[in-house]
Structure 1
Amino acid sequence: MTNTGQQHAPEIRAAAQHLGRRRFLTVTGAAAALAFATNLPTAGVAGAAELDARRIADNPFTLGVASGDPQPTSVLLWTRLAPAPYEPGGGLPRQRVTVQWEVAHDARFRRVARRGTVTAHPEFSHTVHVEADHLLPGRTYWFRFRTGSWISETGRTRTAPQPVSRPGSLTLAAVSCQAYHDGYFTAYKHLAQDDVDVVFHLGDYLYEYAVNAVGGARNYTDRTLPAHFNKETKTLEDYRLRYALYKHEPDLRAAHAAHPFVVTWDDHETENNYADDISENDDPPTEFLLRRAAAYRAYWENQPLRRAQLPSGPDLQLYRRLTWGRLAQFDILDTRQYRSDQAYGDKAHVPGPESDDPARSITGATQERWLLDGWRRSNALWNVVPQQVAFSERRLDLNARAKLSMDAWDGYRASRNRVLAGAEAAGVDNLMVLTGDVHVAYAFDIKDDFDDPSSKNVGTEIVTTSVASGKDGADKPANWDTLTKANPHMKFYNGRRGYVTVTLDRDSALADYKTVPMITKPGAPISTAASFVTEAGNPGLHPA
C-alpha cells in the first residue's frame, strides 16, 4: 500500500467493516477513501484539459492494438497512448486526447466500413475501448487508430457468425501464463502467423513478481529496465506499468494485431493464489480489496474488454457468454473472484471433509446458476468452457488416497459434481473445457466417475501449456511417469512452452499441441507435439 494508503487505512477499514464486500464502493464515503488510497480517479471523470495531439512528439502507439469479444455485428477495439511506456503515465500529461479510429473491409483501408472518434482519458491511463458496431456477421476486418500525425499499426479482426447460422468450422487458439521474467514470448510470434479465428487467453496475462534490470531469464544485453519494475505490483501505477512492460513486447503485439482475443484472468493478474477477498498472506480483507481494485482496474484498462466489464471498485464481472453461430457456445468463467478459500491451504493435499464440504464453490452460486442456465438454453453443437484451473481429477502420486491440488477443481469436488450434473441435465453432449494455469499441456477425458476408469466419458479437457512461465520446460517433466500412471484418463502430458489450437466442425474437434524447444533465447521454431480428436456425440480423445 502507498504511504497515502497507509495514512488512511484506518478510515478505509472502518468504512469497510460497515459494508458488505459487494457494497464496498457503493457508499460515497467508502468510495472516496478507496479512490484516495489507491489514486483511483472516479470512473468517467472527464475534467482534464484537452491535449493538442499535434504536440505529441513521439509515437504514442508503442503498445500496439488489439481487438476482442467478437459478436455478430460488433467487435471491441483497443489501444493505449504511451510514447514512453516504461514511465509512469506513459509519457503523456494528465490531459485527454482525441483519437480517430477506422474499420475497413481491406488492409489498405480503401473500403472503410466504420469510423469515428473517441477520447483517451488520463483517468483510464489513456486507453481506448471502441465498441465498433453495425458490422457484418462472419467477416474479417482491418482496423487502426490515428492521433495527431501518428497512425497505429493495422490490426486484423473478425466478427462472429449470425446466431442462427451453421458455420462449417471454427479454429481457436488457447494460451495462458506468460511470465516475462521467465523468457521470451516466442509462442506469440508463431501464433500471429497461425490461421485461427479467435484466441482465448485463460489467465496469468502478467505476473505480480519483481522483474530485475536484466529482465530475469531474458538477461538483456541491449537494454536495462527501470528500477520501478523490480518490486511486486500492489498499486494502480504498479499494475499499469507492468502491463506496459508486457504489451511492449513485439511478439505479443503481433498476436493481438493478428487475431481477436477473449480474455479471462487467474490469480497473478492480482496476486498468487488469492481466493475472493482472501489474499495469499491473509492480509486484512479491506486492505486486500484495495489492491484488488487497482489490479482489476488496470486489467480492464489494458485488455480488449467491453463496457459491461468496467469494474466497480474491487468487483468486475468477467464471466460472459459468446457464440459462434450454432456451432459453438463459449461460457467464459472466472474461478478466482468468487471462490471459497482453498481447503487445507493452497497446496496439494489429500481430499477430506474440508475440501468436500458441499457448501464450497469455485465459481460462486450466482455464476454457477448462470452457467447451468446457459447450457439449458444452448442450441450449440459444442459447449466450450474457457476457464483457468485444472478441471479433471489430477492425482499427484500413486498412493491409494492421492494428493490433489487444492487450488484447482480437485479442491472443490462438490462444485465440479454440480457442474457436471448440470451439463447432463441440460443434455450437453459435447462438453469441452479449455484450461491454463499449470505450465504444462494435458489432454483429459472428463469421466463420469474419476475413481472408475471404465466409467463413461462426459466431456474432454484441453489444457494449454504456458507461453513463458516455467522457462524452457521439458517434453517429459520429472513427474511424467507418476502422473500418467496415476491418471488413466490423461491422454497426453508435455512440459514445453507454446499453445494449443482446436478446430471444431460438425463431426469432430481436433486439438493440436504446439510447442517450442526454448524460450530463454529468442527465435525458437515451433512444431506440433501431438494431435488428438474427439468425435461429436462420442466424448473421448484419440490420437489424430
Structure 2
Amino acid sequence: MTSYTRRDTLAGAIGIGLSASLAASPVRSSSGSIFKLGIASGDPWPDGVVLWTRLVRDAVAADGGMGEAPVEVVWEVARDERLQDVVRTGVTLAMPEFAHSVHVEVSGLEPGRSYWYRFRAENTESPIGRTRTAPAPGQQVSRLRFAAAACQHWMYGNWAAYHRMADEDLDFVLHLGDYIYEAPSSSQAAVRQKVRDVPIDVPKTLADYRRMHSWYKTDPAIQSAHSAFPWIAIWDDHDVENDYAGNQAPGRPPAAAFLRQRAAAYQAYWEHMPLRIAQRPLGPDALLYRRLAFGDLIDLIMLDERQYRSPLACPPPAPQLDRSRLVSASECADAFDPKRTMLGLDQESWLARCLTEPARGRWLLLGQQLMFSPFARKLEIGTGLDTDGWGGYAAAHQRMVDLIAARPSRDTVVLGGDIHGFVASNVPAGHQDMDSDVVAAHIVCGAISSRLGDHSNYVASLPNNPHIQFVDAQRHGYTRCTFTRDRASFEFRAVDDIRNPVSGLSTLATFETEWGVAGLRRV
C-alpha cells in the first residue's frame, strides 16, 4: 500500500480551510493566465468528483515555467453556473514534484446533479467548469447518456469532434485510451495526411511526457469538452509507446530501462488527467482498473489491457521491431496458450468476481481499449489475427467471454477503441466459432483524429465475420451512447472534415441493443 506524507495530502487535499488572503485578493481574467491547460473533472461518485488543473506559464517548458515552489490553489464548487451558491471550497497545494497539477477529491455533494467549479491561484481565476455527480447506489435511473472517445493524434487532425461534443447533453465522457501519441509516423502516406505539427520530440523521460501532455491540453476544443463533463479515462499503448506489452517495448530494450520510461509516462498521464489519488503511480505501477456505479442503471467496469499483459505472440526475429502484425492462426500456436494473459492474474480474478456477483446495475458496461469481438482479418491466403489485439490472447479472451455468457441476464455491453474505426458487432460465445450464440453487444467508438484504420481490409474481412454488422474506418469522430432501462443505443458521430477545427458533425449510423436480448440491430 502506498503511504502518503502530509505534503502529499495537501497536494490532493479534499477540503482544507479557505485561505483568507487569497479569498480577498482581486482576480484577473484567465486569458494569458497560469490556467493555460484548462480545467477538468472526473471519476464521478454519488457524493463527489475529482477536480483537476495544472498550472503552467509556458506549455512547452519542462517545468511549465512554474519553478520549484509550491503554489496555493483555491477551489470552489457551487450549485449554480455563476458560482453564487457555493457548497464546497478549500485550498490545496500545486506541488512541483507533480508538475504543479491539482487533483482535488471533493466529497459531500448531492448525488445525480450538476455542479459548477473553478480554481484561483496567483490572483487569477480559471474558467468555470461544469460537472455532475453519479446517482446514488440503487437509485432508480431512467436514462444516462455519455460519449465514448479514443485515439486523438494531434498531427492528423483538428478536434472538431470535441468542439461539437461540448454542446451535447451528456452525463460524462468515457475515454478509452491513446490520449496522446508518442511518435509521428514517417511514412509518405502519413506525411501527406499531416494537418498540424507537434513541436516535441519522441518522449522518453518524465519531462518529455509532461511536455507532450501539456501541448495536447492547449487545444481549446479538448479544454471545452473537459470543462463541460466529468471524464472517466483509461490509457492504451500510445500513452507510453506503440504496441508495448507489460514490461516489454517493440525495440526490445532491457526491461529495467523500459520500466523507467513506463514510470515516466504513467506519472505524466496521472498528472494531466482528472484521476484520484488511488490511481497515482508508484514508479512503473498504477492501479487504473476500477469500477463505478450509476444508480441502478449502469455498472461500469474499466479495464487496463496494457500494464499486465503477456508479451505479444509470435514475435518476429530480432532485430525487427516486436510490434503488432497480422499472422495466420495456424502459424501462431502461442496466441492460444492458456497461460497467456491480457489482464494479469490479479485483474482477471477481480473481473471474475465483478462478473459473477449479483448485478449492481441493470446494464453491465465494460470499458476497455481494444476491439473485443473476434476479427478474422483477410490475408492473401486465408485469414489472420492481430497479435496486439484479443486475437493474440485467445484463451484469455475465451475466459472473459465465458464469464459474460454465464451471467443470468443478457445485460452486457463492451466498448472499445484502438483500431481507428467505427464498429458494431455481436460477441459470439466461441472465440473461434463466429456463428455461435451471441452473448453481448460490442461497439468500437471510432478515432477522434488518428490515422484511420485499414478500411478496405476491414470490409474485405466481413464475409469471414458474420457477427460484425458494421465497420467504417473512413471517418473520424466518437460514439454517443444512451442507456435506458429497456435498451441502449449507439450513434456514430462523424466529423465532416478532420482538417477543419469547427467542422460539422453528422450521425453515420445508429445501432441499439435490447436489455435481456444479446446483440445489436441497426435503426
What's the TM-score, normalizing by structure 2? Answer: 0.89
- 1:523 deviates by 2.2
CA separation of 1:379 and 1:44: change in aligned 2, threshold 3 A = closer
Q: CA deviation at 1:510?
A: 0.5
Task: Report the Cα distance in structure 1 between the residues aligned to 2:308 and 2:195, rounded to whole angstroms.
Answer: 35
Q: Distance in 2 between matches of 1:486 and 1:456?
A: 16
Is the 8 Å Cα contact of residues 493 and 508 (structure 2) preserved in structure 1? yes
Which segments of 5 or more consecutive residues in structure 2 lack a partner in the other structure? 12-20, 316-323
| Cα distance per residue 1:288-328 (max 9 Å; x no partner) | 01101101111111100001001110000100000111111
* Residues 87 and 56 of structure 1: CA distance in aligned 2, closer, same or farther (over 3 Å): farther
Q: Distance in 2 between matches of 1:343 and 1:244?
A: 34
Query: Distance in 1 between the 2:239 and 2:27 partners?
Result: 31
Tell me which of 157, 169, 184 is aligned to 2:158.
Answer: 184
TM-score normalised by the chain length of structure 1: 0.86
Alignment partner of 1:317 is 2:296: no
Deviations 1:83-111 (A, max 9, x none): 22122211212100000001111100111
Structure 1 residue 306 and structure 2 residue 285: aligned?
no
1:282 aligns with 2:252: yes
Q: Assess if the C-alpha contact under 8 Å between 1:218 and 1:521 holds in 2.
A: no
**Counterpart selection for 1:296 from 263, 266, 278:** 266
Moved segments of 4+, more than 3 Å: 42-47, 52-58, 398-401, 450-454
Structure 1 partner of 2:126: 152
CA distance in 1, matches of 2:328, 2:143: 42
Q: Is the counterpart of residue 397 in structure 1 residue 378 in structure 2?
A: yes
2:56 aligns with 82
Give me the CA root mean square deviation: 2.7
**Residues 108 and 296 (structure 1), Cα distance of their counterparts in 2 relative to 1, 3 Å cut:** same
User: For 2:370 and 2:480, how far apart are their aligned partners in 1?
Assistant: 18
Hey, what does 1:107 align to over in structure 2? 81
Using the alignment, how far apart are the partners of 1:269 and 1:215 within structure 2?
Answer: 24
Once residues 519 and 354 of structure 2 are traced to their aligned partners in structure 1, the CA distance between those partners, rounded to angstroms, is: 23
Partner of 1:218: 195
The one-letter code sitting in structure 1 at the alignment partner of 2:519 is G
1:384 aligned onto 2:365: yes
In the other structure, the counterpart of 1:164 is 138
- Seen in structure 2, the aligned counterparts of structure 1 residues 315 and 451 have a Cα distance that, compared at 3 Å, is closer
Pairing partner for 1:258 from 228, 234, 252: 228
Aligned counterpart in structure 1 of residue 298 of structure 2, from 291, 305, 328: 328
- Is structure 2 residue 428 aligned with structure 1 residue 458? no
Q: 1:538 to 1:433 in 2, by over 3 A?
A: same
Write out per-residue CA displacement over residues 9-28 of structure 1, whole angstroms, 9 at most, x where no aligned residue.
xxxxxxxxxxxxxx9x99xx
Deviations 1:493-536 (A, max 9, x none): 11210000111111001000000122123221100000011100
| Change in CA separation of 1:310 and 1:219 when aligned onto 2, cut-off 3 Å | closer
Q: Is 1:490 matched up with 2:451?
A: no
Identity of aligned residues (%): 39
Contact kept in structure 2, 1:392 and 1:410, CA below 8 Å: no
Matching residue's letter, 1:408: G
Q: Report how far residue 478 of structure 1 moved.
A: 2.2
Distance change (3 Å), C-alpha of 1:508 and 1:46? closer
Separation (CA, whole Å) in 2 of partners of 1:434 and 1:282: 31
CA offsets 1:178-215 (integer angstroms, 9 cap, x no match): 00011111110011111111111000000111599x99
- AA aligned to 1:407 is D
Equivalent residue, structure 2, for 1:529: 508
Q: Structure 1 55/165 Cα, relative in aligned 2: closer, same or farther at 3 Å?
A: closer
User: Is the aligned partner of 1:481 residue 2:462?
Assistant: no
Query: For structure 1, which runs of at least 5 residues remain unmatched after alignment?
Result: 1-22, 27-41
Residues 388 and 437 in structure 1, CA contact (< 8 A), matched pair in contact too: yes
Q: How many residues get paired?
A: 493
2:520 aligns to what? 541
Shift of 1:401: 4.8
Secondary structure in 2 matching 1:342: coil
**CA 1:283/1:451 → structure 2, altered by over 3 Å: closer, same or farther?**
closer
Aligned to 2:203: 233
Letter in 2 for 1:312: L
| Farther-moved stretch of structure 1 (349-358 vs 458-467) | 349-358
Q: Following TM superposition, by how much is the alpha carbon of 1:452 offset from its aligned partner in structure 2, in angstroms?
A: 4.1
Residues 394 and 431 of structure 2 are in contact (CA less than 8 Å); yes or no, is this contact kept in structure 1? no
Change beyond 3 A, Cα 1:330–1:282: same
Amino acid at match of 2:51: L
Paired residue for 2:347?
Answer: 367
Specify which of 438, 448, 451 is matched with residue 419 of structure 2. 438
| Mean CA deviation greater in 95-104 or 400-409 | 400-409
Alpha-carbon separation, structure 2, partners of 1:135 and 1:367? 30
1:482-521 to 2 correspondences below 5 Å: 482-495=460-473, 496-521=475-500
